[in-house]
Structure 1
Amino acid sequence: MAAFIRLDDSPMFQNQICSLELTADELKDRCQSLYKGCKNFMTALGEACNGDTIFADSLEAFGGGTDDPVSVSVGGPVMSKFISAFHELATYKELLRSQVEHVLIDRLMHFMTVDLQEAKDSRRRFDKAIHAYDQARERFVSLKKNTREDIVAELQEDLENSKSAFEKSRFNLVNALMNIEAKKKYEFLESVSAIMDAHLRYFKLGYELLKQLEPYIHQVLTYAQQSKEQAKVEQDRLAKRIQEFRTQAEMDALRASSNIDPSAGVNVIRVFGMNSHKSVEAIMQSRANGEVQTIKQGYLLKRSSSLRGDWKRRFFLLNSQGSLYYYRVKGTKPMGSHPQHFTRPAEQNSGMFGRFRSKHNRGASLNEDILSCRTVDLRTSLIKMDAEDSDLRLCFRIISPLKTYTLQAENEADRMDWINKITGAITSLLNSQFFDQPSHITTNPETNKSTGGASHGVQTRNSHQDLGDDIKSNKIECVSSILRGVPGNDLCAECSAPEPDWASLNLGILLCIECSGVHRNLGVHISKLRNTLSNQLQVRSLRLDVKVWEPTILDLFRNLGNAYCNSIWEGLLLLEDVRADDSNALIASTSKPCPKDAIHLKEKYIQAKSQTSDHRKNQTATMSGTSSVGDKSLDSGSAKSSSKPVLLSNTHDNLSSHPITTHKLNGENYLQWSQSVMLFIRGRGKTGFLTGATQKPKEGLESIETWESENALIMSWLINSMEPTISKTYMFLATAQEIWEAAKETFSDLGNSAQNYKDDAGTYGPIIPSSNKINN
């Protein structure tokens, strides 16, 4: 307070306040500039910290693995200490960034938003207090001598209060300004010096860390120099081996070409191939010991399956398991079209498998650019000399049911070597029982006489058979778990027996064994059955049934299930039961059987359900005729009405008090209820009463009585399909559309779910506008 010599309110006092305010404003501008620079500095430190972390992570990903051969080869274990050091340096930099944020930026922000802002707010309150004090003073001094004493006392009290508020705000402004003057002398010096101390500790920690690593760094540099000299020696050895390899390859090519005499024709080629077959079969025998050897590998030109039919260089590999693979050469450009080759699309589609191959080739051509390795199935393939185009040289074909591979070698010797070895592999695969059958009893006569050898062969076959059964059993159990996971599939769809074992493929339901027998008697045009599971005897006796459960069939059963199907079939059966007359005794008076009921009761119920579709078609036709008559009667009453009700015959009036669905609305099953009710109403051509398309005729027309009768009938259907605690709140609505919309708005997740509520009595009720209530 030393800056203010006197505290009286005077022009000098006001001048000092203005001077301090100007200083505070200038200080605020400088603080904002400093704040921007601090933010940029902190951002740079954060980016540098992130850069150190990213560099350490990339270095760790490059060679941080201790067991990875690539990491070991590039010195990953040696660099592990360096990686840890970089992570530690990043931690130090993050600590520095955090200190800049808290010690400098946060304190600077607090000074601007609290101290400077407090001075600004104090000035605003001071100006307001001056204005109030001036008004009170003017009102008091303007009083006349004859003014009543109570008014004078009131204005005098108001003047004193205004003056007190003025003095308080004046000194608050002085305190705020002097607080700024005091803090600016030490706040910034303290913050900046703290940041410098943080930098000192940052560099000190980094120096101490790197000082400890200094001996290790020099040791690694020495080791790297030694490795460099050793690598140079190994490169010289590799160059020598490459030269020897090229010399040997040229000698092998000359030797192979000398074995083929063009004048000898095919006979010499076949003799040479027989020797190759024997060598291939000898190599493929090693697969029984778990050894996989490479019979032949090398590059061949492969004709593409695209429309252009261009030639691409692929690396082929034939191993002792009879598998032929070819690989794309990534990193090099594919070869263009061969100048002397002509595209023959008919070559790909010739033969009995041409149509299937063309479809397969389209999919293969799409995946060929993605996959780096493809497999050729040799067990169902054969080799043909040359290509379809007889003008092409050095070509041969591998023809399989899925695709025809047209290949071209670089020379005649290489082509014959590939043909002979692939042919030998195919012959060995066809003669071998290794893949498809278990090991048989040895052909040694002495072993055949031995009982132990025979029993060993039988045990081997049994073990392979058990293995196949286990695989089939696992597949069936997987199908079983999927089917029984669908809602309602834990019980039989007809009699509710637990754990149903049979499925109707065209109905999408699971059945017990007794109900499946009834369905089988109905014929496959109604219900097509397959066994689903479950015990080992069923698995063994119904092996081929597993092929039925393709993904599309499983998806169908997931979307259907017993619960959903019965909501439709049994709902229709209930309607047919109510409408049944004396001429249809089979459908009338049917009830769902229990698991322990006699088979004839189950058969009666199932047959009644199977006849509901035909019976319902006839009813639909009848209703259509009745509807047309009703339309004419309404049309004659109101020619201007664009939507007319579809009439029901009077024979259906007995349905007004009967529930139209087995899913009564209980407040939680709106979707099931609405679907089943809409299905019933749509079957009778009455959806216009729910959607509002069937408008009420004008008063005075004859058709209004018919409309009101139809509307009352549909209202009774809707109310009888609800639980009593819900239906009693809908009885006071005027139309079926209002009931339908109110139920949707109250219970549907697709409507206004916020309007679900219970009234004081604990029952559900709709939110109904007052205009929708029936006028009494």
Structure 2
Amino acid sequence: MKVTVDFEECLKDSPRFRAALEEVEGDVTELELKLDKLVKLCIAMIDTGKAFCTANKQFMNGIRDLAQYSCKDTLVETSLTKFSDTLQEMINYHNILFDQIQRSIKTQLQTFVKEDIRKFKDAKKQFEKVSEEKENALVKNAQVQRNKQHEVEEATNILTATRKCFRHIALDYVLQINVLQSKRRAEILKSMLSFMYAHLAFFHQGYDLFSELEPYMKDLGAQLDQLAVDAAKEKRDMELKHSTIQQKDYSSDDTKLEYNVDAANGIVMEGYLFKRASNAFKTWNRRWFSIQNNQLVYQKKFKDNPTVVVEDLRLCTVKHCEDIERRFCFEVVSPTKSCMLQADSEKLRQAWIKAVQTSIATAYREKGDESEKQEKKSSPSTGSLESGNETKEKLLKGESALQRVQCIPGNAACCDCGLADPRWASINLGITLCIECSGIHRSLGVHFSKVRSLTLDSWEPELLKLMCELGNDVINRIYEAKLEKVGVKKPQSGSQRQEKEAYIRAKYVERKFVEKQAASVPLPESGTKVLPPSQEEKRHSGPEKSLLAGERGAASQKEGDKQESPVFCDSKQPSPGLQLYQAAFEKNLPHMAEALAHGAEVNWVNVEENKATPLIQAVRGGSLVTCEFLLQNGANVNIRDMKGRGPLHHATVLGHTGQVCLFLKRGANQHATDEDGKDPLSIAVEAANADIVTLLRLARMNEEMRESEGLYGQPGDEIYQDIFRDFSQMASNNPEKLNRFQQSDSQKS
């Protein structure tokens, strides 16, 4: 209800004016109560919403844990990963909504109450005071006697001054009342409109997000229908098999034992036997025996590695044993030892003896065939990518990430369709994307592209620097090198989604537009003497690379030594794996991205340099961003070299505090020991590197605390997170502060 007070009535100070004032003052008091209540309800709603987001995030982490657990089931892992990513986006949208609600309702209305209503109350106090003074002046003027001229004049002057002051303050009070009555409508409606627009944006974002996910959900639903049909069929088959087996006579275990020389899994026969130990007590133990691959082996538990009793059945004989007290015994004799075994029945003993004899005969007949099979098995096989852990600590948010990344050449437009002002990024490729292309990238799977929002997600400093090292121009020069040659037209921002999807899949998954590498240096065969990569680096990389080669034991080669090799030669390009390996040390991210585009295995092992990996080379090179790039592209943080040292060991030895912090965040195993039995903590303690000792001890304490409290999959203590966040910021923005130990060591030397 809008109540106004007339200025004319104010000057008259009439009963109508006083009644209007009383009505306005009551209305403002009630308004203040209503607004205070609304602000408190808003605070409670925000707190409840944040609690919901926290619970939702824990649930989402549970889904991710389940996805990792289901890594052997591609359908389940992919689906759960997509769903958890979508839930994470919704959590981000919820947090944005709550921030806007706080600004629109809590902050805006509180400001109105504290400023405008407070001014009204102050004006009211002044008005009441001057009103009382006016009443006193009127009473005194009325009471003064006519014959006391001096008092009459004094009372008249006081009354005149008081009336003047009353009119001035009353007019100010009425003005304040009318302004307040006019302003409150705008303030209330403005805050509520902002509140509703926040919800509108929230639901639009959610709708867009799930619109991207909807095609995948429909496909998954169709697959589930087929899975239900398949499950019903399998159930019928299993019930039939159950019924068939149930009809057989299993009164004796003898019927369970059959042997098959041509078994697909290579196991001719298996079952439990008692084995006499070779110790002085000649104890008997029950073990699970099997005849497989022309060997007799046994296991105590299934997870144990099989113990070989007979290496080659062709060199042994089998016979009955009737000269001991136990029944159903037989002996397998080889040129070096004999093994006394006992079956559970005579029928089982005969079956085992016959199985051994048949296996011996078969081994002789198929000797030639087995040799061929072994040769085929020994042929080199291709490696597989291993994905590394991504823990998300939030350090750098919002527009600063957007502005910094979009300043990189080519990043102001979508890498794949050219739409201006992209708000999404692929963090392992180092490119910016529009929302439609980002949805297509998500569908490729995280082993091809990891998508993140430049405005809604949080950005770790090392990840932001990674984005600034690459960019759309760099990546397109690699992945679109042959675009004109093959005659493919790049899609535009207005192209159909199907056209964009086909292009993106051809570009990043099939890599159809990547320029084929020149004749590569083949990987060394077993027993082939080749020029070590350290010498190859000497040839191309100058004194710095020669020094590194010296650290690896190749210092005996002189700088100018250019001996030739039957495998490596200057006219050929290094293999993609070696190119990645060399570029990792040289801190050259574009060359690393090019090597990956040419098919380099991110966990490639250099057998000539203690089986070091590109990630270990990145540690030696001293670049935090290079390590982050490899980890984002699936590098395994726990692969160790021949000396048993992984990336965390090397970073600790070299005193690279920022890298130690990064590897601990990415799940490095700090309990692993090298060939000298030293773990990273003992190495850091010997080197007296206080920063690294602090990080390792904190990580170990945090790990123990999470295990004791059952907080698996949780980030851990807030203090621990804050310290690691500070180290991450320092490593990216002020690395010189973390290099003080290295500087002091160099000064001493």
Q: Tell me: higher relative CO, structure 1 or 2? Use CA pairs within 8 A at least 6 residues apart.
A: 2
- Regarding TM over 0.5, the answer is no
Q: TM-score, normalising length from structure 1?
A: 0.30
Task: Return the index of the structure with the highest Cα Rg.
Answer: 1
